[in-house]
Chains A and B, each alone.
Chain A
């Protein structure tokens, strides 16, 4: 069975500080992993995805994530937080047939 765990339902960082959002997965098959962002009253927008190519994946808005098989992790990072990064972030693992399993989300607050 596949599942995703996001550690920390709320993360606060100062503007300009490093953003680190944690995601660990469980999968019986090689996983495909995704990070999505959700702004208030909007749907989810893809930030980046890992599909077994490079383990370091670069996404939009300066975000990147590194796939670490030994740690079953896919943490999301951004070197310098911006006020516009405040949103809900979801990690997801996909299995065949487009069935996605999402984590419970991490709400990011950026403090000016």
Chain B
């Protein structure tokens, strides 16, 4: 099976712009989670989608949003970019999507740089 894929891998934007990141989960996986990884804050949970519904949300401002499509692919959007949004954004998928014992499989991430 192909792993979790994320596009693009690298992105450079300027303050005030918006950005959309894409994640394709492992085939058959219905749960997709997004994380922001920065040197200072580590890995922080953004949100999780299951069957096109946002099921969990972390403590991020409303500028961060996401959605999931019927084929389980997910996108996250960040509007009005700030310098502090520069980070590695990781997507993870899991199969059962309802058990805390699920294993999350991570993509390689999208490196966003805001200038």
The contact size tier of chain A is 20 to 34
Q: A98-B97, A100-B33 are in contact. Are A46 and B103 (CB under 8 A)?
A: yes
Residues of B within 8 A of A (CB): 4, 31, 33, 35, 42-45, 48, 50, 55-56, 58, 90, 92, 94, 97-109
Task: State whether A43 touches B107 (Cβ < 8 A).
Answer: yes
**Inside 8 A of A44's CB, which chain B residues have their CB?**
90, 92, 106
Task: State whether A103 touches B42 (Cβ < 8 A).
Answer: yes
Task: State whether B101 touches A43 (Cβ < 8 A).
Answer: no
In whole angstroms, what is the CA distance A9 to B108 when docked? 22
**Inside 8 A of B100's CB, which chain A residues have their CB?**
32, 94-98
Nearest CB of A to B45, in Å? 6
Nearest CB of A to B44, in Å? 8
| Interchain residue pairs with CB less than 8 A apart (14) | A34-B103, A42-B108, A46-B103, A94-B101, A95-B100, A96-B98, A97-B50, A97-B56, A98-B100, A99-B48, A100-B104, A102-B43, A102-B44, A105-B42
**Inside 8 A of B106's CB, which chain A residues have their CB?**
36, 43-45
In whole angstroms, what is the CA distance A105 to B88 when docked? 15
Within 8 A of B (CB), among A85-112: 90, 94-105
A51: interface (CB < 8 Å)? yes
Nearest CB of A to B71, in Å? 19
Known: A46-B104, A102-B44. 17 other contacts (CB 8 A): A42-B109, A43-B107, A44-B92, A44-B106, A51-B101, A90-B42, A94-B100, A96-B98, A96-B99, A96-B100, A98-B100, A99-B56, A100-B45, A100-B92, A100-B104, A102-B42, A105-B43
A61: interface (CB < 8 Å)? no
In whole angstroms, what is the CA distance A17 to B31 when docked? 39
In whole angstroms, what is the CA distance A97 to B43 when docked? 17
